Amino acid sequence: MVADVLREPMFLLLIAAGCIYLLLGDVKDALMLLFFVMIVIALTVFEEHKSERVLEALRDLSSPRALVLRDGRQQRIAGREVVPGDLLLLTEGDRVAADAVLLSCNDMLADESLLTGESVPVRKQAGSASSMMREPGGDDQPFVYAGTVLVQGSGIGLVTATGKSSAIGQIGQSLQGTQSGESPLRIQTGRLVRHLAIIASTFCLLLVLIYGLSRGHWLDALLAGISLAMSALPEEFPVILSVFMALGAWRISRHQVLARRLDAVETLGATTVLCTDKTGTLTENRMVIRTLYSEGQILQVDDLSPLPEPWHELVEFGILASERAPFDPMERALHELGRRTLDGSEHLHEDWELVHEYSLSPDLLAMSHVWQGGRQQHHMVAAKGAPEAIIELCHLPDTEARAIEQVAAGMADQGLRVLGVARAKLEPHGPEPRWPAQQHDIEFSFVGLLGLHDPLRAGATEAIAQCHAAGIRVVMITGDHARTAQAIARELGLPCEQILTGSELNALPDEELRARLRHVQVFARIVPQQKLRLVEAFKANGEIVAMTGDGVNDAPALKAAHIGVAMGQRGTDVAREAAALVLLNDDFASLVASIRMGRRIYDNLRKAMSYTLAVHIPIVGIAMLPVLLGEPLLLLPAHIMFLELIIGPACSIFFEAEAEESNIMQRPPRSADERIFSGRLLANSLLQGVAALMIATTIYIWALSTGFAENTVRALVFVAMVSGNIALVISNRSLHSSWQGAWSRDNPALWWIVLGGSAALALALSVPMLRDLFHFSGSAPQIFGMGLLAAAGILLLSAAVKRLLPP
């Protein structure tokens, strides 16, 4: 990193200037300049330093403790010690240690959202040792995958892949081959610095040649060239960028956002497309029951109202069809609703005993529990499952079945996960119960339908609306079904007339995909590799892409995007390590605050750079003018360093602390290829600098014509330049409003600059030792009065420039 920094032309010139000072014996100036170079290098290296612990985080995530069967006995070992051929003993709540094929399983459901983005657990069935591994996702596969979680059931799996060969390890491989996006502003700033360094070097060379050829004093010519180099070389620009990004990261941290890559703070403000995963990012990744259907009636459930008596039976048998200590989000939602609405009633049966179970199967997507209740002689059976499976179990007439199917379809269109519930009674036959061989042999009665909703995060809808107002396209990318994605998008206020699915995306060539991206904002059934392709396609369209996510499946796209934004509380280590920003509180509204802060930083960056360019024009002009006129040099190294003491804090600390413009979130993002110095801003900055140079030149010519001594002329011109410097600070506080309006905004750093600069100038004019060091003479009140006139003139001319040529 240091080598890359030192290859920049600006740093090479600064180091060369410091070496020349050493050769001339001016050790103080040389050490000061070289020390400044080291500070800038340190800041740049710190800013660019990237933590690359993604593969380590992947290993941590995919290496839980594992229960294996070795040598005929069970052993619990570290997940990293599992090898192909091991037998994994899996049960509800386990995080799977390796990819495996299931040799046996019972009622097994797995949460594979880390790999697929699908919020609903998927059903598993037993296979054989010869089964070929397939991609994660979908029901009835005989495979489990490293890093996923079993939410229900148990089973035995034969390990087939570990480490890099596993599905989660392949995501790590794609992370290794993915290049992070580079900040457009860093590219622009590097180009600007190189151009200014070439111009500055040219002026320095011309000054040395003109001075040496015209006067014959080459040592003085070299001193004049070095003085000009100190004033003209653009060392402020990388410092400005480093300081703005570092302080910007501190500011957004107060909004619960952690910046892992400093230039991401600025780029976020330029974002044009925000790609966000649905599960766990826009939604809470937890199920809540929102709709009940029974006996032809629909009830909308909220979190406050009590549940009417006719609906108690539906919730009662839904709970009886679930595990007592559920891990599955849907079953947990049922238990939560029961605790809230049925507590203390006869519909909760803590004392009942589960005596038999019927599992889900590929042929019948329903499960049943048989209960023995207290003093009852009969057994109660509760079933739940897919609506069509429950209808089949109940042997309903066609008319009634079609009516229920229409209700279930309507719930699905609202983005709800729909479950049917049925009940039955089994009479005992003999002292030992003989259970029916299958669920079809039980005479079930239909009870109703449950509609479960994965709720949106609080504030997500409002945050998306603010993004729209700011001209940012929010794109939802999810592994869910297209109808579910469409319903969620409609609830969020996202345009969902066009939806692109993963299978459709695979069929599109790159050119056609980029064309479709201009009109589609909802993507469904997307796998991790496709998310990465979408991000790359958006980037190919010239968009500045931000991607939010929290799962392992999001990590490659997070790293490839210009700005990856990971969730801090629910997010995985992998996602956090791959991202540039981390939302510590998982609050989508914090992302909007970051966007606002990014825009403020960019605005203030433009102000600082406009000021920096403008303030160097009079310095360069006054450094060259005496040489062209055959007069003694005005600006010596001590004067340049004095000016730098004002320019440095002004261009970094002061402008960074400026408040945001009033319309900052009511304007579209800037163009991806917009230069930080647009034509109008560059012209405005140059004209302000020329105005300051004209006033300083006028004072210089007047002082010469009046016959003042050399040191008095130097004092008059230098004080005018310092006053003009402060005037340019005030003028550039706003790129659009007048300096009078900008003056009303509070910024304590302004008074440090004005009062500190004035006090230092007063000391330099009044203390004899400092007067000698700076080569000053003359009446201090007269000189200060001329400085005030110069400041007033520059303020008026700058206001006229902004009125005639707004930046």
**Quick one: the chain helix, strand, coil %, rounded to 5?**
55, 15, 30
Return the bridge partners of 275, or none: 475, 547
- Whether residue 452 contacts residue 330, with contact meaning beta carbons closer than 8 Å, is answered with yes
In the predicted model, what is the mean pLDDT of residues 123-127?
89
Q: pTM above the 0.95 mark?
A: no
- Whether residue 46 contacts residue 68, with contact meaning beta carbons closer than 8 Å, is answered with no
534/477 Cα distance (integer angstroms): 9
Q: Exposed (0-12), middle (13-18) or buried (19+): which is 34, by Cβ within 10 Å?
A: middle
Our CA angle for 606, 8, 231, nearest 5°, is 60
- Whether residue 141 contacts residue 163, with contact meaning beta carbons closer than 8 Å, is answered with no
Return the bridge partners of 101, or none: 143, 158
Amino acid at 264: A
Our CA angle for 597, 602, 606, nearest 5°, is 145
Weakest mean pLDDT among 7-16, 364-373, 532-541: 7-16
**pLDDT at residue 638 in the model:** 65
- Whether residue 562 contacts residue 543, with contact meaning beta carbons closer than 8 Å, is answered with no
**pLDDT at residue 664 in the model:** 81
Other CB atoms within 10 Å distance of the CB of residue 440: 13
79/316 Cα distance (integer angstroms): 40
Q: Exposed (0-12), middle (13-18) or buried (19+): which is 74, by Cβ within 10 Å?
A: exposed
Give yes or no for residue 49 having a pLDDT over 60. Answer: no
In the predicted model, what is the mean pLDDT of residues 279-290?
78
Greater model confidence, 179 or 514: 514
Average pLDDT of the chain, as a whole number: 80
Give yes or no for residue 692 having a pLDDT over 70. Answer: yes
643/380 Cα distance (integer angstroms): 89
196/682 Cα distance (integer angstroms): 13
How many Cα atoms sit within 13 Å of 418 on the Cβ side? 25
Task: Provide the H-helix boundaries in 588-709.
Answer: 588-629, 637-649, 655-656, 679-706
Mapped onto helix, strand or coil, the DSSP state of residue 437 is: coil
The candidate with the shortest Cα–Cα distance to 371, out of 389, 385, 383, is 383
Q: Which of 555-564, 583-592, 648-657 shows the highest mean pLDDT?
A: 555-564
Distance spanning both ends of the chain, measured CA to CA: 35
191/185 Cα distance (integer angstroms): 10
**pLDDT at residue 313 in the model:** 92
Q: Exposed (0-12), middle (13-18) or buried (19+): which is 32, by Cβ within 10 Å?
A: middle
268/597 Cα distance (integer angstroms): 9
**pLDDT at residue 554 in the model:** 72
Amino acid at 172: G
Q: Strand 273-277 to strand 288-294: parallel, antiparallel, or no bridges (unpaired)? A: unpaired
Greater model confidence, 17 or 731: 731
The rounded percent of the chain whose pLDDT value lies above 90 is 16
Other CB atoms within 10 Å distance of the CB of residue 445: 12
The residues, ordered by sequence, that sit 6+ positions from 369 with a Cβ below 8 Å of its Cβ are 320, 321, 322, 354, 356, 357, 358, 381, 382, 383
Give yes or no for residue 737 having a pLDDT over 70. Answer: no
Give yes or no for residue 60 having a pLDDT over 60. Answer: no
Other CB atoms within 10 Å distance of the CB of residue 443: 12
Torsion of CA 697, 701, 706, 708, to 10 degrees: 70
The per-residue pLDDT for range 154-170, each reduced to its tens digit, is: 889 999 999 888 888 87
| 43, 52, 706, 776, 789 from 782: Cα distances, Å | 42, 61, 14, 13, 11
The residues, ordered by sequence, that sit 6+ positions from 370 with a Cβ below 8 Å of its Cβ are 354, 355, 356, 357, 358, 379, 380, 381, 426, 435
788/726 Cα distance (integer angstroms): 10
Tokens of 281: 């990012």
Greater model confidence, 283 or 141: 141
Tokens of 417: 């996960």
Instruction: Please report where in the chains the tokens 């280590």 appear, as a residue.
Output: 573
The per-residue pLDDT for range 65-82, each reduced to its tens digit, is: 788 999 888 888 878 889
The residues, ordered by sequence, that sit 6+ positions from 210 with a Cβ below 8 Å of its Cβ are 627, 628
Give yes or no for residue 85 having a pLDDT over 90. Answer: yes
Give yes or no for residue 262 having a pLDDT over 70. Answer: no
List strands edge to edge, sheet with 379-385: 297-300, 288-294, 445-453, 417-426, 379-385, 366-372, 353-358
Tokens of 759: 């006090």
608/602 Cα distance (integer angstroms): 10
The per-residue pLDDT for range 383-429, each reduced to its tens digit, is: 998 888 899 999 999 999 999 999 988 888 888 888 999 999 988 76
Instruction: Please report where in the chains the tokens 């909308």 appear, as a residue.
Output: 300
Give yes or no for residue 590 having a pLDDT over 90. Answer: no
443/446 Cα distance (integer angstroms): 10
Mapped onto helix, strand or coil, the DSSP state of residue 767 is: coil
